[in-house]
Amino acid sequence: MKTQIIGTGLSGLIGTRIAELLGDKYEFIDISLSTGVDITIFDQVIDSINRLPGKTILHMAAKTDVDGCEDEKILGEESQSWTVNVVGTQNIIEAAKRLGKRIIYISTDFVFDGTKEFYNEDDQPNPVNWYGYTKYEAELHVIASGLDYCIVRLAYPYRAYFPPKLDFVRRIIEKVKKGEKIMALTDHVFTPTFIDDIAFAMDLLLEKDLTGIFHIVGSQFLSPSEASDSIFKIFKLKGDIETIKRADYFKDRAFRPCRLALKNDKITKLGIKMSKFTEGLQEIRRQISP
């Protein structure tokens, strides 16, 4: 019999792939707007979870539009981003406490300010935009809950297929196909993560009931300009890449941390292989054109 996992956000970019790759081993039950559950309404959360025997809640649902969240900052705790990311998480926590569940909470690299060379799990978060602040606030509620928990920080996920939403890799590919110019940052560092690797790391967290904070991210941090070069090379794309600086690219947009280089030593020491960006791209190309 499959182990049941209760999930929020399972219909998204990452959740659908986790359910696809681990579906032979786990039964994933989605509680979300698409299944009639609003996580910001506690009665709906507790009623839906109360009917399910699964002992783990994989909480992935969030408002992740960084600029959209920043536009709401003036509304504070009345904003949709606060209601979804913080209140929604508080509701999941309270339901888990009442029903004896554990939580795996999906967070983000945006809890950091980008001023260090790199970040480990024990580094102190210091978010610099509203999206990062709401996600870190939710982390603090998870930590203070008294529950068995995992906090999983992800960064710039990408995969081979997902028609409802383009990740940054497929967005670049589609732009090139349309003959559009690619604007690529040179003074910004990020840590792209192959979603298939996230799924296999999640399997370990679920199977071993691991607790604590984990950076489940790729094994290579680089600039968007370098990432674009790799995408062009591996997918044999023809087109223009124009380099640009952060001051121009993010003008009139939410401030982004400058250097989000996250280390994944903790999860790799447990035997999980997290791909370098070039390795992930090569696997995507293989999946698209076997």
- Which CATH number belongs to the domain containing residue 244 in this structure? 3.40.50.720
**For position 34, what pLDDT does the model report?**
86
Query: For the segment 113-156, what is each residue's pLDDT rounded down to a tens digit?
Result: 999 999 999 999 999 999 999 999 999 999 999 999 999 999 99
What spatial distance separates the first Cα and last Cα of the chain, rounded to whole Å? 32
What local confidence, expressed as pLDDT, does residue 1 receive?
85
∠ CA 88-262-202, nearest 5°, is: 55
- pLDDT of 252 reads 87
d(CA 80, CA 70): 11
Averages of pLDDT over runs of 10 residues in the chain (290 residues) are: 95 96 97 93 97 96 96 96 98 97 98 97 98 98 97 98 95 94 95 98 96 98 96 94 92 92 98 97 92
Range of the domain at 222: 3-288
pLDDT, position 72: 96
Please tell me the pTM assigned to this model: 0.96
The structural domain count of the chain equals 1
Burial 146-183 (b: 16+ CB within 10 A, else e): ebbbbbbbbbbbbbbebeeeebbbbebbebbeeeeebb
Question: Which pLDDT does position 290 carry in this prediction?
Answer: 67
Q: Characterise 156 by phi-psi region: left (phi > 0), alpha (psi -120 to 50), beta (else).
A: left
Q: What is residue 289's predicted lDDT score, i.e. its pLDDT?
A: 85
